[in-house]
Amino acid sequence: MISLRPVLNVLGFLYVGLATAMLIPAIVDVAQKNADWQAFVFSALLTGMVGMLLSLAVGGALLEGLDTRQTFILTTLAWSTLPAFGALPFLWLGIDYADAVFEAVSGFTTTGSTVLTGLDSLPPGLLVWRSIMQWMGGVGIIVMAIVLLPFLRIGGMQLFQSENSDRSEKIVSRSVELIRLLGLAYVFLTVLCIASYLATGMDLFDAFNHALTTISTGGYSTHDKSFGYFTNPASGWVAIFFMIIGSLPFVLLIQALRGHPILLWRDPQVRALLGFLALVSLTMTVYLGINMHFPFDDALLKATFNVVSIVTGTGYAMGDFSEWGAPVVGVTLMLMFVGGCTGSTTGGIKMFRFLVFFGTVRAHLRRMVRPHRVMSEEYAGTRLTQDLSFSVLAFLVVYMGSVGVITVALSFFDLDLVTAISAAATSVGNVGPGLGPVIGPAGHFAPLPDGAKWLLSIAMLVGRLELFTVLVLLDPDFWSK
């Protein structure tokens, strides 16, 4: 029988931490003489009380007592319940329940899809809360990758572990030091991003909010026009740089900050990601210059910004790229399936998985030509096992199948094909805006039926949990002794 006491204890601490974070937008509203601070204070009191009672009820079971199965349960419960408490301030301010949960889920999963309009006139505390949810979600994603994904064997994080051969039951204590360094690096990069935005002329409020949602590759903005609101091209290039930073493996970023930047470049998935972004951005730049008659500097900025934003799953928009012609729409839909690197804040199909997939296909083709030849694929000097290759291929099948099933389900809500398939792809991939006049970069998800919003909320959670984290809980063997 799996003991849930340590799981509930950790959940209690997480709720208390969330309650503490709710006080930040309350302080912002008080400073701005906005009465909405009450929504955050009462939400914090309720969330904190639940958290403390939960920890007290289980008698303070220790975090070090978590084994593999308990960690799977904790991860799923944390990502499922934190948005429920995060939605409380939205409910207090009169936002519909389905919309409030959708906004909170989109925030914590760093998807960036929104149901809110008139962002420029919303209370400052609410805007800050949206950014904080994404910032906390971003660091939570990396922690999940470090602690959990090595046991799923679908993400490649086991290749970054010095204790790859140690599959002992106690898994959290081995990662505590790495998580501490991760937190310091995450805060440092956030502060650096704030300073960079300020240097481009952003005011402190915009710089703070956009730094939180850039490093987390979340994409919530304080303006309806998203990054199209800012006229200084330097702000766009700063965003591009830090979106790319957020899409790199944080394990390697930590090593780079500690004096070993060459380790980043040696990672094949980093080189593949940067090369892919450069190729697609330059191709789209040429297209915008020739077909849309954009000046070169404007075409380069907008093409690079939107390509990086989509691939990293940030979801910022600079202009309505759905109006740039059918080829751009087609490329955008393809990019929704491509993600950043393993161990980053991004969603989608990570670059590591594509490398394993193409390596497996290449090896299969070679075996067709020379059936008796023994071949092995390597990644950064490490041999890729058949188990890892099979796990990645299984993930790709389940990922594409999930997008297909959700697309069909959305069609029952009378959504057109472009809206349905882009909504499914952007939700499972945690990208942000979809395609079409309703949920495109110039639109929002508010017009969708409540049933579609609930379905997409589930899709965002399942996508953020890397699919198999949820599926493994449905296996009867998981619950057996």
Please tell me which residue, 98 or 479, carries the higher pLDDT value. Answer: 98
- Average pLDDT on 244-262 reads 92
- Average pLDDT on 279-284 reads 98
Share of the chain above pLDDT 70, in %: 92
Q: State the Cα–Cα distance between residues 335 and 348, nearest whole angstrom.
A: 9
Burial of residue 162 (number of CB atoms within 10 Å: 0-12, 13-18, 19+): exposed
- In this prediction, residue 172 carries a pLDDT of 44
Instruction: Please write down the HEC assignment for all residues of the chain.
Output: CCCCHHHHHHHHHHHHHHHHHHHHHHHHHHHCCCCCHHHHHHHHHHHHHHHHHHHHHCCCCCHHHCCHHHHHHHHHHHHHHHHHHHCHHHHHCCCCHHHHHHHHHHHHCCCCCCCCCCHHHCCHHHHHHHHHHHHHHHHHHHHHHHHCHHHHCCCCHHHHCCCCCCCCCCCCHHHHHHHHHHHHHHHHHHHHHHHHHHHCCCCHHHHHHHHHHHHCCCCCCCCCCHHHHCCCHHHHHHHHHHHHHHCCCHHHHHHHHCCCCHHHHHCHHHHHHHHHHHHHHHHHHHHHHHHCCCCHHHHHHHHHHHHHHHHCCCCCCCCCHHHCCHHHHHHHHHHCCECCCCCCCCCCECHHHHHHHHHHHHHHHHHHHCCCCCCCCEECCEECCHHHHHHHHHHHHHHHHHHHHHHHHHHCCCCCHHHHHHHHHHHHCCCCCCCHHHHCCCCCCCCCCHHHHHHHHHHHHHHHCCCHHHHHHHCHHHHCC
Q: Determine whether the annotation assigns residue 111 to a binding site.
A: yes
The 10s digit of each residue's pLDDT in 227-243 is 999 999 999 999 999 99
- In this prediction, residue 152 carries a pLDDT of 60
Per-residue pLDDT band at 170 (split at 50, 70, 90): very low
The 10s digit of each residue's pLDDT in 102-130 is 999 999 999 999 999 999 999 999 999 99
- Average pLDDT on 76-88 reads 95
Are 185 and 142 within 8 A, CB to CB? no
Q: State the Cα–Cα distance between residues 114 and 100, nearest whole angstrom.
A: 10
pLDDT for 30 beyond 70: yes
pLDDT for 24 beyond 70: yes
Q: Determine whether the annotation assigns residue 20 to a binding site.
A: no
Which residue in 2, 113, 91 sits closest to 43, CA to CA? 91
- Average pLDDT on 175-187 reads 84
Give the other-Cβ count within 10 Å of 191's Cβ: 12
Structure tokens at 272: 């593949």
The 10s digit of each residue's pLDDT in 372-427 is 776 677 777 777 778 888 889 999 999 999 999 999 999 999 999 999 999 999 99
pLDDT for 161 beyond 60: no
- In this prediction, residue 156 carries a pLDDT of 57
pLDDT for 162 beyond 50: no
Mean pLDDT of the chain: 89
The 10s digit of each residue's pLDDT in 256-275 is 988 889 989 999 999 999 99
The 10s digit of each residue's pLDDT in 203-225 is 999 999 999 999 999 999 999 99
Q: State the Cα–Cα distance between residues 62 and 172, nearest whole angstrom.
A: 11
- Average pLDDT on 303-313 reads 97
